[in-house]
Amino acid sequence: MPAKRSLTWALAILLVVAIPARAGGFPPITVVEINPGADNSFAFALEEVPAVLGGDVYFAATDATHGMELWRMNGNTPEIVHEINPSGDANPLGITKLGDWLYFRANDEVHGEELWRSNGTNTELVRDINASGFEPSIPQGFTELEGWLYFAAQENTHGTELWRTNGGTTEMVSDINAGDGSYPFFFTPLGGWLYFRADDGVHGFELWRTNGGTTEPVRDINPIGTNSSSINGFTRFGDWLYFAADDGTHGSELWRTNGTTTELVKDINLVGTDGSVPNFLTPFGDWLYFQATDGLHGFELWRTNGTTTEMVRDINPTGVDDSYPNYFVPFGGWLYFGANDGTHGFELWRTNGLTTELAHDIAPNATSSNLFGIAAIGDFLYFPLQIDGVGILGRMSRSGTVETQVLPHSNSFISCMCNSPIHAVGPRLFMLFASDETGWEFAYLDEPTYGLPETNSETRAVSITLAIAAALTAAASLALRRRAAKKLRGK
């Protein structure tokens, strides 16, 4: 074959190979029965987010032989990792990765709920923190900061205080409220510090931080006696930590801190003293989106960039009725969420900051699709639905095409793993699943477009095809011109 023709064909092959394969059709849903029959395993029921170690997903579950113990999904096979409590439920909770280990609290029936860890091969008690009495330490709120795992734990002498471990050393960080316990919670890292809510016994539950060496109050937001500011919803956005708090004057409003400055972002609700109650804070682009009420429009979609705070749209414009936007997930240049406009029921919406619109009325013939939970994987958004009593899993492509799959078995539905009923771990979507035949188990599907370059629509594939055709035409034309030039030079 002539060299130039070889070049043309090589170019064609390279262009074709460069196109990622796109699998069509709804991926099959696989139900995993750890406790066969109608009995329950309650797999994934205890955790908000599945933990991953060495490519395996770890979770709590119970089968016909063991109580609630530590399990993992090894490829497509569920297996028990270790029987911590041979006589009952270990109830492993808060499974969190630090280095090559997963840390959690569990009950071995000897020490009570204490600090444990596992690397998949070895599972061991890290420390019996409350060893001086019969009460457990109940460690919780595990959060990593610079090689340490911080958490709250109870000990008979100090009460519930701030602790940390690196696997070798487990220690109390600070006795914030001597004797009574400060009950630290909502741990969130920012700029080398761990921020949290705690009560020192004088100021109520207020804003604190630690770097492991220094533990200090950041600000007494509600300075009226021992009243608490009811801090919650810590969310990192830029160099600031945003949250909801009540200063005793404005009600629950949007605040922020960078450690040096702690300030009210905006008093959104000027009607009464209840506040705007900001919730579901979610960064998207240069803005932080959230649900809030100004007292006039109900709970609607808001956003802030720290300087400007504004309502994005009154989605349910009937008086002070609420649209309750939540389950915010960025996807394909849009922020998707569930909301109720008062006409279509609770459906899938989206905004890019300029346009806020109903993305799809999934159940036009029903009162509502009852969408709850959204997860993005590959080229699709997935969301569980309950339409006219039927359990359904839906998905929407980047081009806006919606497909639905009725869940297997009878009277089946996807239940809630605390804050969300579905979780994406790599290419796999996990669901807490229940039906008459299986009881409470879990299910999963594998999304084949995970890890492939993004494609916005079916027209993108056409554009790629046209680009290939143009490239081939250009290559062929170049070869013809070269042959013509060679003939001219030969004259």
Tell me: the pLDDT tens digits for 214-229? 999 999 999 998 899 9
Residue with tokens 């699998």: 23
Over range 164-172, report the average pLDDT.
98
Dist. CA 314–CA 249, nearest whole Å: 26
Q: Is the pLDDT of residue 469 over 70?
A: no
pLDDT number for residue 19: 37
Residue with tokens 């007494």: 220
* C-alpha distances in Å from residue 370, one per residue of 325, 385, 387: 13, 6, 7
Q: Is the pLDDT of residue 325 over 70?
A: yes
Q: Is the pLDDT of residue 458 over 50?
A: no
CATH topology of domain 23-490: Methanol Dehydrogenase; Chain A (2.140.10)
Beta strands 390-397 and 380-387, pairing class: antiparallel
pLDDT in tens, 47-98: 778 899 999 999 999 999 999 999 999 999 999 999 999 999 999 999 999 9
Domain extents in the chain: 23-490
HSE-up (13 A, CA, CB side) for residue 442? 34
Per-residue pLDDT band at 418 (split at 50, 70, 90): low
pLDDT number for residue 10: 38
pLDDT number for residue 467: 36
Tokens of 12: 């064609």
For the chain, give the percent of residues with pLDDT over 90. 76
Q: Is the pLDDT of residue 316 over 90?
A: yes
Q: Are 472 and 8 in contact (CB under 8 A)?
A: yes
pLDDT in tens, 373-406: 999 999 999 999 999 889 999 999 999 999 999 9
pLDDT number for residue 16: 33
pLDDT number for residue 8: 38
pLDDT number for residue 463: 35
DSSP state of 436: T
The per-residue pLDDT of the chain, averaged, comes to 88
Over range 398-419, report the average pLDDT.
88
Q: Is the pLDDT of residue 7 over 50?
A: no
pLDDT number for residue 225: 81
Per-residue pLDDT band at 273 (split at 50, 70, 90): confident
